[in-house]
A and B are shown apart, each in its own frame.
Chain A
Amino acid sequence: MDTEKTTGVKEDIRQKEIVLGSLRQAVLQNLDSSIQTDQFLLNMGPQHPSTHGVLRVLLDLDGERIKRSVPDLGYLHRGTEKIAEYRTYNQIIPLTDRLDYVSAMANNYAFVRTVEKLLQLKVPERAEFVRTIVAEVQRIVNHLFWLGTQALDIGAMSVFFYTFREREELLDIFEILCGARLTTNYYRVGGVESDIPQHVVDRLYRFIDAFDGNIREYNTLLETNRIWLARTKNIAVITAEDAINFGLSGPTLRGSGVPYDLRKFEPYGAYDQVEFDVPVGQNGDIYDRYWIRIEEMRQSAKIVRQCLDKLPSGPIMTDDHKVSFPEKGNVMHNMETLIHHFLLVVHGFNVPPGDTYCGTETPKGELGFYIVSDGTGKPYRMKIRAPSFVNMGAFDFMAKGYMIADIITIFGTYDIVMGECDR
């Protein structure tokens, strides 16, 4: 980002800071002045329908207000980082599906990008476009899922049916592309697994044409609904400075007015060849984060349309056969290819020694992989920077002073998925 832009953004943030700070102060004062009762500890979860998985929170209550909340993580810990040290790079791709199981494609993308950065591998242009299309479709799927469940948590049930209707259509497209709806395993180091057929392209065009009307449908149910507004406006306010200090990312950060989006700042894939806006909020409350996700869906649809228009022809896998599997026909005919195939399957491909971090803008925020390679076919160490986990760090801060019923809404606003949080 150039300096002129930076100072402009900084000034903008400072202005908002003053407004938001006073708002937050008022909430905390309200907490202090309320009637002091005995300390009341409430255990919430891990088996609670609104925690979106297995999250346990210890709530320290003053009447109905939250004084302190301690999230207890780790119920869904599966040791993905440790397992990865014993798997070849290709074998890790299906493991990343299970991190954020609502948007598996985005996890695949984040992982293969890191490995490609270590290998300094060039991906064919068509593959870059297909990856971008699929990643944006995944963003729409994730936000639809979020919108449905968030509204369901608050009590607006019908939105759930409408969002899942559209999600179903997109998951069907994933099923054609890769054979699975959730655990996709679609991206490969150096490209994607299968090409995007023409009938899927047509289907995507049809979906995008109708999608704007669908978003208006959800807005009819929510945007002006006074119950929705009362439950979301001025709840879980976080200022831009606090949001940055807590390391928040994704819509949770942009809701506070920080236009930080890796797709814009460090363009990857085909994002530098398409036009899109990064929506930012003003108040940093739940309503703003809702609005941002709605707007992001519109922008994603815009990106998908531009990518489909520009979709170049060509290969979808890199021609570097040190990395990509040889064609099955050659394996069955050619002895040299067969030996190479055996080596790739059993040993994997070697990655030059070194370490790298690579962040990708997933629907939840910045998902980063840090891989240390010792030159063999398996990573020496793999660290996952999961956005849900980092966002959870601000939970106590954001929940302090609000009513106990707002806890449900605050869980929802992070778009938290425990598979990624506990890894």
Chain B
Amino acid sequence: MTLKSLVKSVLFTEIMQGLKLTFTHMFKKKITVQYPHQKLELADGYRGFIVHRRYENGQERCVGCDLCEAICPAKAIRVVGDIHPEFPERRFAKEYTLDFTRCIFCGFCVVACPVNALSMTKEYAHSSFTREGLIYSKDQLLTLGDKCESESIAYLKVRNMWGAEDSGKDEGRYHFPPISATQSGG
């Protein structure tokens, strides 16, 4: 053992170097976030809670086509489609339940939806004391959708699903089947 290494081993120089590094970090910018009081800005297109969307006139978009149920890898969605009571040429989801205890937030249901009725938001901290509390009905999903409308639109824009909405072609918006202007009030 050379003298230099002996001095090093007696003085614990490597531990001192480590302590010096951690000490300098006391004067650097803090990177921690005080979570419940201070929240991080999430990116647009964050795959949070799934919501139902409406057209501008307040009509719900969902046509009960079952595609989200078919593509869901976790089998979290259940759809029962039926003929709309007011417009006989139109279909809608009589029952729609989304089980967030099963949902894996993969975003495939939004990809599958042919009328952009589904979207995802930046909501992530919904919790419940019961299992039933996390099984959302269509009304709950619509209410959540109204609350987070801008987020759901931003999601669709980031994921390149907004093209048809901005194209200005009216028939593209109400395709399933086309609804005339007089009927759209309902």
Contacts and interface: CB of A to CB of B under 8 A. Distances in A.
B100 to A, nearest CB: 15
Contact of B67 (A165, A224, A226, A345): A345
Contacts of A183: 104-106
Contacts of B159: 179, 193-194
A346 interface: yes
B164 interface: yes
A372 to B, nearest CB: 20
Nearest to A181: B46
A34 to B, nearest CB: 28
A269 interface: no
Interface stretch (B10-18, B84-92, B130-138, B141-149): B10-18
Nearest to A162: B25
A161 B111 CA distance: 37
B81 interface: no
A185 interface: yes
A193 B77 CA distance: 23
Contacts of B155: 179
Given A179-B107, A180-B105, A221 B18 contact: yes
B1 to A, nearest CB: 13
Interface in A306-339: 325, 327-333, 338
A90 interface: yes
Interface residues of A, number: 42
A94 B104 CA distance: 8
Contact of B175 (A93, A172, A224, A332): A332
B95 interface: no
B182 interface: no
B47 interface: yes
A92 B73 CA distance: 7
A95 interface: yes
Given A224-B14, A327-B163, A345 B112 contact: yes
Nearest to B68: A345
A329 B14 CA distance: 62
Nearest to A94: B106
Interface in B42-68: 42-43, 45-47, 67
Interface in A5-42: none
Interface in B91-141: 104-108, 111-112, 114-116, 120
Contact of B15 (A87, A178, A225): A225
A328 B160 contact: yes
Interface string A161-185: 0000100100010011011100101
A172 B40 CA distance: 10
B164 A176 contact: no
B158 interface: yes
Given A221-B18, A331-B114, A345-B67, A87 B43 contact: no
Contacts of B15: 225-226
Given A90-B108, A179-B107, A220 B160 contact: no
Contact of A332 (B31, B42, B46, B115): B115
Contacts of A91: 71, 73, 108
Interface of B: 9, 14-15, 17-18, 21-22, 31, 42-43, 45-47, 67, 70-71, 73, 104-108, 111-112, 114-116, 120, 155, 158-164, 167, 169, 171-173, 175
Given A179-B107, A194-B158, 12 more contacts: A91-B71, A94-B73, A158-B18, A175-B42, A178-B47, A179-B43, A180-B46, A180-B47, A183-B106, A325-B111, A329-B163, A332-B115
6 contacts: A91-B71, A94-B108, A180-B46, A328-B160, A333-B169, A342-B67
> Which 3 residue pairs spanning A and B have beta carbons closest together?
A329-B163, A94-B106, A179-B47
